[in-house]
Amino acid sequence: MVLKNRKAFTLIEIMLVVMIIGILAAMVIPNIAGRGKQARAAAARADIEANLTTALDLYELDNSQYPTTDQSLKALIQKPSASPVPENWSGPYLKKKAIALDPWGKEYAYVSPGVHNTDGFDLFSYGPDGVESGDDIVNWTDLEE
C-alpha cells in the first residue's frame, strides 16, 4: 500500500495552536484593558495643561485678562460681546476654531477668576462619571490633601 504525501494539519496540532493563542490572549488582554481609561485621562490632561491653557494665555496676553466665566471658552474662537468686551481680540486662539469636548464627550468646565487659581482660572473635566468627584482632571493642585 502506497501512502500519499498529505499536507494537512491534524486535530491535535490545531488544538495546540488554539491553546497557545488562548494562553497568550489571557496574558495580554488584562494589560491592555485598563489602558483606555488611562489614555482618556491623559488626553484630557493634555487638553487642560497644554492646549486650552496655551490658548487662554494667548488671549490674556492680547486682552490683559482671561475670559470671564460668562464669556466661557467660546471667547477663544469668537470675539465676546458680553462685558468686558476685549478690545485687542485677535483670535481665534484655537487652530480647529472649535472648543473640543473632553474624551468623555462633555464640555470642559471653566471658571474665571478661579476658585482654586484665584489669580487665573480653573479649567477642568468632570471625568468619566460626569460629576464632581475624585476622578476629575483639573488644572490645580490641592495642597490640603
Q: State residue 5's pLDDT score.
A: 65
Q: State residue 126's pLDDT score.
A: 93
* 56-88 pLDDT tens trace: 999 999 999 999 999 999 999 999 998 899 999
pTM comes to 0.73
Q: State residue 142's pLDDT score.
A: 63
1, 8, 10, 41 from 4: Cα distances, Å:
10, 12, 15, 61
CA distance 144 to 6: 74
* 94-125 pLDDT tens trace: 888 788 899 999 999 999 999 999 889 999 99
Q: State residue 3's pLDDT score.
A: 61
Ordered structural domains, the chain, with CATH = 38-138 (3.30.700.10)
